[in-house]
Amino acid sequence: MKKFLSLFVLTLFFSIFTYASEKVVYVDIKKVFMESKAGIDVKNYLQKKADEARNYIQTKASLIDRNNPKAMQELQQEAMQKQKEINDLQQRIINKFTNFIKGAITEFAKKNGYELVVDKQAVLFGQDKYDKTKDFLKFFDEKYQKEKPKFE
């Protein structure tokens, strides 16, 4: 009887542990930023805005008298202002994009019954079966296509 009880408790312990471990998964957020349709669109948009600002300053630089210190100083100030605008835009877009990812992860976890989703960067070791990056990328791309959020 004691053996049976010990075996039962041991079996119960391992089944609970197995059940709990299947509810914890990880996602490579860096990969989501780099490979998702939304991430690619964000990168392309930010690159376009940076290129526009750079071209504007370069065009203006080609039109001013480089021997005029006041004009050069004004150009430098305008270039710094454009850089600040690009940095602010980048920060706003990344914040909105990050919030969209967080919402999508919450939705993905609830849909799949996951109790905990962690970023792969925080995982010291995890079996591949707990890596749900591909599944999340598919889910995230579909959500992005369906909702068409604006990150600007």
**Residue 57 half-sphere exposure toward CB, CA atoms < 13 A:** 18
pLDDT in tens, 66-95: 888 898 899 899 999 999 999 999 999 999
pLDDT score at 6: 40
Q: Distance between CA 23 and CA 108 in Å, rounded?
A: 12
For 21-63, give the DSSP string.
HTTEEEE-HHHHHHHSHHHHHHHHHHHHHHHHHHHHHHHHHHH
Domains of the chain, each with CATH number or no CATH = 20-147 (3.30.910.20)
pLDDT score at 150: 86
φ, ψ (nearest 5 deg) of residue 63? -100, -10
What band does 96 get if pLDDT is binned at 50, 70 and 90? very high
pLDDT in tens, 7-41: 433 343 344 444 455 699 999 999 999 999 999 99
Q: Distance between CA 2 and CA 39 in Å, rounded?
A: 58
pLDDT in tens, 117-146: 999 999 999 899 999 999 999 999 999 999
